[in-house]
Amino acid sequence: MTSAFKTLVILGAFLATGYGLTCRQCVIGLLNTCFFPSDTTCNNATQSCYYGDAQFNSTGAFKLHTRGCLDNDLCEKTLTGSLLGAGYTASFRCCTTDLCNSASSLHLSVVMGTVLTLLCTVWVSQ
């Protein structure tokens, strides 16, 4: 191999290692609203973005939502456990392109909230 070709191969390896997947991050979310959302670049060992739901078995309808980076071995899995004596079920759905786990449902809830606020304002003013 020529020295120029070896240099290109080594440079390509460094560039590939330096690239990471960008995911939407939400440490905690309730009612389809993420508190303090951000974008994060995953480390090189992480291959997927995820969006997950955790539901406490005793409350039924109450769900927590999270988003971020995740290793492929947890993708499309459902885990069960307990936290302070309360049982929970958590599921993780994954995707593999930049910002593929962004919160489209958040936009829907903001629009729906605006419409409901306008309807209530019109109803109260009559």
The pTM score is 0.62
Cα 120 to its chain centre, rounded Å, is 32
What is the CATH T-level fold of the domain 21-125, as seen in this structure?
A: CD59 (2.10.60)
CB atoms within 10 A of CB 23: 29
**Phi then psi dihedrals of residue 57, to 5 deg:** -60, -30
Mean pLDDT by 10 residues, the chain (126 residues): 41 43 92 88 89 84 88 92 88 95 53 47 56
DSSP 3-state percent helix, strand, coil across the chain (nearest 5): 35, 40, 30
